[in-house]
Amino acid sequence: MADRVQEPVSRTRPVGAEELRARYDKERAKRLRADGTAQYRGADGELSHLAEDPFEPVGPRAPLHTEVEFLLIGGGFASLTAAVHLRRAGIEDIRIVDRAGGFGGTWYWNRYPGAMCDIDASIYLPFLEETGHRPRHRYAFGPDIRAHAEALARTHGLADGALFSTTVTGARWDDGEGRWWVTTDRGDLLRARFVSMAIGPLDRPKLPRIPGLGDFAGHVFHTSRWDYGYTGGDEHGGLTGLRDKRVAVIGTGATGVQCVPQLGEWAGHLYVVQRTPAAVDVRDNRPTGPDEFRGLPAGWQAERVRNFTTVVSGSTEETDLVHDGWTAIFRELTAVAAGRAEEDRGGPLTRAERHDLMTAADFATMDRIRDRIDRIVADPATAEALKPWYDRWCKRPCFHDDYYPTFNRPDVTLVDTDGRGVDRITEHGFVVAGEHYDVDCLILATGFEVGTEHTHRAGFDVEGRDGAVLSEKWANGYRTLHGLHTAGFPNLFFLGVTQTGVSPNYSHTVAEQAAHLGYIVRWMREHERPVVEATPEAEEDYVAEIERHARQGTWYYERCTPSYFTNEGDLTDPRKVLAGAYGKGPLAFFALLDRWRRRGDLAGLAFPAGEDR
Ligand code: NDP
C-alpha cells in the first residue's frame, strides 16, 4: 500500500511552545504509573509457552563434553563479528552456543511479517565489503538479514560446531586450570579458555501484566515468536489464515508499526490497541539498484558507518552519507540548529540557550510528523488519536510508509486507550474503557526486557574467581572496564550495550567492541599470556567516569513520556536508563578505546603470571 497523501484536513492543535509543553505534560501524566517497570513480566511460569521457539523443532541430541578455546554465548551479529576478529587474531577453535535454533540473534526470533531493519542496510549488515553480499533493499527485510548472518557463519567456519536450541545454565571459573566450565540444559559440559556473552539487549519477550492474560481462550502469541502455523504466510505476507479472524495487536512500538500494515491487509478485522502513539516518519524504502555498490573505494563501509554515527551523535560532517530519517533527526534537532545559531551570534551558546533551541527544533520535528498524520489519515478522530505528544527522542523513532495509511482501511480499527492501556483480557477478547472487544487472536507487540538484570536476561549466573557471583557483584549496578571486562571474572567478556557507547546502529557498537576484543586476544597470544582480567582500580575509575556522565541528557529525558529509554519514567537510577550507557556518546567511547589501544600498555588489565595452562 502506498503512503497515500491526501488533502490536509483542518484539525485543531496547540500552537506555541507553552501550549505544546502543557499538552506534552498532560499526556505524560496519564502514562506515569506507580508500578513502573513492575507493570511487565517475563514470559515464564504459566506463560513460558509464549517464549518457546516456533521455528526450529528441538530434537534430542547426546550431551557434549568437550574443550574449546573460545566459547561465544549468543549467535547474533555481536558474536559473529567478534568471531571474525578472533579468527584474525589467530583463534581457530571457536564455538557458538545459543538458545535459538540458528544464527541471527534478534533476527532469528523476530520473523513477524514485515520485519525490517530500520537502519540503512549498507551500514547495518557487517562485512559487506569483505563478503560481497548485497542487501536487496535499502532497509533490509528479516530473511535477507538472517541469510547474511548464516553466510557469515558459514564463511568463517562457525556453522558446524554451533550448539543451537541450547541454553547455558551456568558458568564457573576454575582458577587452577585457567578454564571456564560451562553447563547447558542439554547436559553439555564445555571447558573453555575464554567465554564471551553477547546476549543482546532485546532478547527476552516482555509481557504486560494485564489482568486475565492467562484466561484468553483464543490464540495468543508474542511478535518475536510469530505463529505462521496459525496465521499462514511468511515474513513477506500472505497471512491467509487470518482472513476470517478478528485480530488484536497490542503495542505500537517499532515492531507494531512494522507488522500492522501486514495484519491490516490480511486480517478479517484488525484492532490496533494503542497506549502511546508512535511517531512514524517517512521511510522511503526501495530495492537497491544493480550499480549501487559498484565502484566504491576500499573502506567505504567503515567510512559510511563512522559518518552515520558522527551525524547521529550531533556532530557535523561535511557530507551526510546515509542521509535518511535518522540523520535528519539529528540535523534538525542538534548540530545544525545550534551551529547556525552560534554562527549568527559569532560565539558559543549557553547551555540553556542550546536546550531552548533543541526544544524548538524538536517541536518542529514532531509538528511535521503530526502534520503527516493529518495528511494521510482520512478520519479526523483517528488522526487525532494517532498523534504523538512527546519529544522526538523519548521513544525509539519509527519510520514507515504504510503504517498510517492502514488506518484508512474499513477493516482496521484503532482502539486508543488514552494512555492507560488495556483494562482486562477475558476469555473472548479484551476490555478498554469498559468496552469489550471480541477477538479470535491476540498478538503481543509488547517488546523486550531491557532494564532487568543481566544475569536474569542471560538466564544463568556466573561464578568467577574465589566464588564471586556476577549477580551479586552487579546487584547495585554494573561494574565493568569499558563494558567488556569485570574484575574477578578472568577471560570473560561482555559484548552489548552495558557501559559502552551506543550508536543507533547497534552493529557499529558491537563492531568496535569486537575489534577491541580481537586486539586484546591477539596481544595475549603474542605475549603468551593465557589469562586476562580488569584490575579493581581500573574498573573503579571507569565506573566513576560512567557515573560522572550518566546524567547528561537528563534535562531532556525527565520531561519524557515513559518508555524503556527512561526506565518507564523513573530516572532516579541512571544505571537503568539505557542500561547505563557511556554518557559522552558512542564517538567518545570509540575514541577512548582507540587511544587505549594506541598507548599499547594495556592499562587496567592484569595478566596473572603463570605457565600457559
Ligand atoms: P516497545 O517496548 O518499543 O513497545 C511495546 C509496545 O507495547 C508499546 O507501544 C507499549 O505502549 C505497548 N504496551 C505495553 N504494555 C501495554 C498495555 N498494558 N496495554 C497496551 N499497550 C501496551 O517494543 P517493540 O517490540 O515495538 O520494540 C522494541 C525495540 O526493538 C525497539 O525499540 C527497537 O530498538 C527494536 N526494534 C528494532 C527494529 C529495527 O528496525 N531495527 C524493528 C523493531 C524493533 P507504551 O508506548 O505506552 O509503553
**Count of residues in the chain:** 613
Fold assignment, 17-34+209-283+358-444: FAD/NAD(P)-binding domain (3.50.50)
Q: What is the 3-state secondary structure (H, E, C) of 537-548?
A: HHHHHHHHHHHH
Q: Where are the domains of the chain?
A: 17-34+209-283+358-444, 65-204+450-606
With cut-offs at 50, 70 and 90, classify the pLDDT of residue 398: very high
pLDDT single digits (tens) 96-140: 999 999 999 999 999 999 999 999 999 999 999 999 899 999 999
Percent above pLDDT 90 for the chain = 77
Minimum mean pLDDT range among 2-11, 105-114, 146-155, 291-300? 2-11
Better-predicted residue by pLDDT, 612 or 450: 450
Same fold across 17-34+209-283+358-444 and 65-204+450-606:
yes
Q: Which letter does DSSP use for residue 113 in this model? A: T
Pocket test for ligand 1, best of 275, 395, 448, 561 (most atoms within 8 A of CB): 275
Mean pLDDT of the chain: 92
Average pLDDT over residues 13-24: 86
Q: What pLDDT is stored for residue 565 in this prediction? A: 83
CB-based contacts of 467, cutoff 8 Å, min separation 6: none
Average pLDDT over residues 260-271: 98
CB-based contacts of 470, cutoff 8 Å, min separation 6: 454, 455, 461, 462, 463, 464, 486, 489
pTM: 0.94
pLDDT single digits (tens) 76-102: 999 999 999 999 999 999 999 999 999
- pLDDT surpasses 90 at 280: yes
Q: Which letter does DSSP use for residue 485 in this model? A: B
Q: What pLDDT is stored for residue 353 in this prediction? A: 81
Fold assignment, 65-204+450-606: FAD/NAD(P)-binding domain (3.50.50)
- pLDDT surpasses 90 at 613: no
Nearest CA to ligand 1 atom 14: 446
Q: What pLDDT is stored for residue 554 in this prediction? A: 79
Pocket test for ligand 1, best of 280, 326, 396, 432 (most atoms within 8 A of CB): 396
Q: What is the 3-state secondary structure (H, E, C) of 29-53?
A: HHHCCCCHHHHEEECCHHHHHHHCC
Average pLDDT over residues 558-573: 84
| Rounded (10°) CA dihedral 116, 117, 120, 123 | -140
**Residue among 281, 304, 279 at smallest CA distance from 292:** 304
202 C-beta closer than 6 A to ligand 1: yes
3-state secondary structure of 24: helix
Pocket test for ligand 1, best of 124, 202, 395 (most atoms within 8 A of CB): 202
pLDDT single digits (tens) 492-543: 999 998 999 999 999 999 999 999 999 999 999 999 999 999 999 999 999 9
Q: What is the 3-state secondary structure (H, E, C) of 261-329?
A: HHHHHHCCEEEEEECCCCCEECCCCCECCCCCCCCCCCCHHHHHHHHHHHHHCCCCCCCCCCCCHHHHH
256 C-beta closer than 6 A to ligand 1: yes
Taking the centre of ligand 1 as the mean of its atom positions, its distance from the CA of residue 445, in whole angstroms, is 6
Q: What pLDDT is stored for residue 337 in this prediction? A: 66
Taking the centre of ligand 1 as the mean of its atom positions, its distance from the CA of residue 256, in whole angstroms, is 7
With cut-offs at 50, 70 and 90, classify the pLDDT of residue 201: confident
447 C-beta closer than 6 A to ligand 1: yes
Taking the centre of ligand 1 as the mean of its atom positions, its distance from the CA of residue 448, in whole angstroms, is 8
**Alpha-helical runs (H) found in 293-437:** 300-312, 325-333, 335-345, 351-376, 380-386, 403-406
pLDDT single digits (tens) 151-177: 999 999 999 999 999 999 999 999 999
- pLDDT surpasses 80 at 310: yes
213 C-beta closer than 6 A to ligand 1: no
107 C-beta closer than 6 A to ligand 1: no
Average pLDDT over residues 213-238: 97
Q: What pLDDT is stored for residue 302 in this prediction? A: 96
- pLDDT surpasses 70 at 401: yes
Q: Which is it for the CA torsion 48, 54, 57, 63, positive or negative?
A: negative
422 C-beta closer than 6 A to ligand 1: yes
